[in-house]
Homo-oligomer: A and B are copies of this chain.
């Protein structure tokens, strides 16, 4: 098996070594802490009258024998609590909160009580069909649920130092290890929804227990091999589907839906359920990294390229269809029947981060930034209780109500759902956002994201502190301060974003020749740093018109407005109805303006034209005779759309030529 050598690779910086203080992101993180986490706790306990009851705590109590009753909710309902606990863990590393920690400890105690003697834990199976453990891996998400539990257990241990939850999840992981593997007598299967793979790697890293790493690798190795396990399973369970409780046809045709159509190392195109695809890739990148395995790394790179070069929206969204929340095919990026699930972009960020750890390259950190500043920022409303699960690039409220293929595209953020995957996923991402800003190797501090923060890292065994201050993404200037007790030799690698056509960097006032020090999109500065050093990075942020590859038929003849990492959009409230009737002038003469609305965004005004409706009366088709009027367009950041009532929204705008 080919081995690869890591190139400019680095490690994660522990969350406890980073703190964020950023005018843009603080609000989001604070919202998660003050609203989302407490609100979700109420939801988990079925105490929110306007939300669908979660049943998650009640299911655990029933499984623990504390309460009587039937299981309620989706079969993966337990994950609501696990994702909450993971977010709580990260939150506690930001800010001590004894009360919250007590709630979490109690919930963990309950989890412990619900766990079976042998380590197994899944309230759906325990309450409904205890004899049917691991008999419907294709549909019932037992290992997916286990994965979220393991992630939470690791995070809680790393945040608090308390081992109770880690022990619980380790016992479950041990049980899974006793049941799955290539050995005779074990189940030769894997889950229909990937997640346990990446979780086991985290558990391995937290505990050093080799078993978990091997088990993660086993799940990836087994996937998509012949004989096809999910076929065998389907035969064994009488061909009955959980969803319909009826006999269904063989799952083989659907194997691509959960990326089991080929061995993972042979997969070359992102297909099927988007979240499963990127969760799997996250695990694959982990395993490639841990084992230095070239074939696995190559598969990751191939699939990464397929996603970001053929199947990703300009916002960092992925998943072109609501049918199966899935990828479709290269260059199929419809803007109005899109899926682009929030969770899928979160998974893409996970995957990108793992790739970055394997090979430092801005192609990964650029995508993290793109997804963060567009899809991720967009998905949560300012009240923390309304969400976009689907993140469209074109919305017409009438179509959302009336078109059978656009019903999933909502014109306003929706209340916390029955299947509430996105809000808690977002909560754990935002509370661990610190983890995406820096990485560090033996001698180099990598700075990936321009989020106001401080970090403490060991470089060449010496402690170095660094801080970022900026008005990013509005302002072009980022200030980086370095501090060590003595002058020290180390390297600092500063990402020059891919969107930036003109960057300037000074160190203590002295201009750096960037062309001489660029490596994979990073300016790498190696020197003996004085105790205090100030880097000023100036990232030119003119308004730009972006176009899509001509194979993207939905975007032909159109442009998207972008400034820095932010994609902009038109909204009906600023530009009137029927937004597609607008086009951007040949010379749009952009004006950037600071606004009071939407928490102080920069809006972009431009010259445009609008097709005239006058003269049409009630004709549907007429000989061509273009009649337009000049208009002034106003674009706002994509992430801020849908906060001023229901209306149309449009990212890709026709361009006058």
* A544 within 8 Å of B (CB atoms): yes
**Contact in complex: B611, A550 (CB < 8 Å):** yes
Count, chain A residues at interface, CB 8 A? 57
Least CB separation from A612: chain B residue: B550
CB < 8 Å: which of B309, B548, B623 contacts A544? B623
CB < 8 Å: which of B329, B398, B549, B556 contacts A620? B549
Contacts of A432 in B (CB 8 A): none
**Interface residues in A538-564 (C-beta closer than 8 Å to B):** 544-553, 556-557, 559-560
Q: Report A323-348 CB contacts with B as 1/0, cut-off 8 Å.
A: 11010110010000100000000000
Query: A619 to nearest B CB, angstroms?
Result: 6
CB < 8 Å: which of B309, B501, B547 contacts A618? B309
What CA separation (Å) do A235 and B551 show in the bound complex? 52
**Contact in complex: A657, B551 (CB < 8 Å):** no
User: Which residue, A323, A402, A619, has most C-beta atoms of chain B within 10 A?
Assistant: A402
Given A402-B332, A581-B556, A624 contacting B544 (CB threshold 8 A)? yes
* A295 within 8 Å of B (CB atoms): no
User: Which residue, A583, A621, A654, has most C-beta atoms of chain B within 10 A?
Assistant: A621
**Contact in complex: A546, B404 (CB < 8 Å):** no
What CA separation (Å) do A323 and B323 show in the bound complex? 13
**Interface residues in A619-642 (C-beta closer than 8 Å to B):** 619-626
CB < 8 Å: which of B396, B556, B581 contacts A580? B556
Least CB separation from A561: chain B residue: B624
CB < 8 Å: which of B326, B329, B551, B559 contacts A624? B559
Least CB separation from A567: chain B residue: B621
Total identical chains: 2
Q: Report A577-604 CB contacts with B as 1/0, cut-off 8 Å.
A: 0101101000000000000000000000
**Contact in complex: B550, A581 (CB < 8 Å):** yes
CB < 8 Å: which of B314, B403, B556 contacts A321? B403
Contacts of A580 in B (CB 8 A): 553, 556
* A202 within 8 Å of B (CB atoms): no
What CA separation (Å) do A309 and B619 show in the bound complex? 6
**Contact in complex: B398, A613 (CB < 8 Å):** no
* A495 within 8 Å of B (CB atoms): no
What CA separation (Å) do A398 and B331 show in the bound complex? 11
Given A578-B553, A657-B656, A546 contacting B616 (CB threshold 8 A)? no
**Interface residues in A387-419 (C-beta closer than 8 Å to B):** 396, 398-399, 402-405
Contacts of A310 in B (CB 8 A): 620
CB < 8 Å: which of B326, B552, B557 contacts A583? B557
Least CB separation from A624: chain B residue: B545
**Contact in complex: A623, B546 (CB < 8 Å):** yes
**Contact in complex: B618, A305 (CB < 8 Å):** yes
CB < 8 Å: which of B314, B399, B621 contacts A548? B621
**Contact in complex: B404, A621 (CB < 8 Å):** no
* A312 within 8 Å of B (CB atoms): yes
Query: A235 to nearest B CB, angstroms?
Result: 25
* A213 within 8 Å of B (CB atoms): no
* A110 within 8 Å of B (CB atoms): no
Contacts of A613 in B (CB 8 A): 549-551
**Contact in complex: B549, A619 (CB < 8 Å):** yes
Contacts of A560 in B (CB 8 A): 621
User: Which residue, A544, A545, A547, A583, has most C-beta atoms of chain B within 10 A?
Assistant: A547
User: Which residue, A398, A557, A560, has most C-beta atoms of chain B within 10 A?
Assistant: A557
CB < 8 Å: which of B323, B329, B402 contacts A405? B323
**Contact in complex: A620, B312 (CB < 8 Å):** yes
Query: A23 to nearest B CB, angstroms?
Result: 28
Query: A227 to nearest B CB, angstroms?
Result: 27
Query: A490 to nearest B CB, angstroms?
Result: 35
Contacts of A625 in B (CB 8 A): 547
Contacts of A501 in B (CB 8 A): 623
Least CB separation from A581: chain B residue: B550
Least CB separation from A396: chain B residue: B553
CB < 8 Å: which of B550, B616, B654 contacts A549? B616
What CA separation (Å) do A557 and B655 show in the bound complex? 9
Contacts of A606 in B (CB 8 A): none
**Contact in complex: B404, A323 (CB < 8 Å):** yes
What CA separation (Å) do A328 and B323 show in the bound complex? 19
Contacts of A549 in B (CB 8 A): 613, 616, 619-622
**Contact in complex: A620, B402 (CB < 8 Å):** no
What CA separation (Å) do A321 and B396 show in the bound complex? 17
* A308 within 8 Å of B (CB atoms): yes
Query: A657 to nearest B CB, angstroms?
Result: 6
Contacts of A326 in B (CB 8 A): 404
Contacts of A578 in B (CB 8 A): 550-551, 553
Contacts of A553 in B (CB 8 A): 396, 578, 580-581
**Contact in complex: B546, A620 (CB < 8 Å):** no
Q: Report A355-388 CB contacts with B as 1/0, cut-off 8 Å.
A: 0000000000000000000000000000000000
**Contact in complex: A626, B657 (CB < 8 Å):** yes
Contacts of A559 in B (CB 8 A): 624
Q: Report A523-547 CB contacts with B as 1/0, cut-off 8 Å.
A: 0000000000000000000001111
Given A618-B305, A624-B545, A654 contacting B402 (CB threshold 8 A)? no
Given A399-B332, A613-B551, A405 contacting B546 (CB threshold 8 A)? no
User: Which residue, A324, A546, A553, has most C-beta atoms of chain B within 10 A?
Assistant: A553
What CA separation (Å) do A174 and B508 show in the bound complex? 100
Contacts of A612 in B (CB 8 A): 550
Query: A375 to nearest B CB, angstroms?
Result: 15
**Contact in complex: B328, A546 (CB < 8 Å):** no
Q: Identify 23 residue pairs between A and B in the complex whose beta-carbon atoms are under 8 Å apart, listed by A's number.
A: A308-B620, A309-B618, A312-B620, A314-B621, A321-B404, A323-B404, A323-B405, A328-B404, A329-B402, A337-B405, A405-B405, A546-B622, A546-B624, A549-B619, A550-B613, A551-B581, A551-B613, A553-B578, A553-B580, A553-B581, A556-B611, A557-B557, A559-B624
Given A323-B404, A544-B623, 7 further pairs, Cβ under 8 A: A309-B618, A309-B620, A321-B403, A332-B399, A396-B553, A549-B619, A551-B578
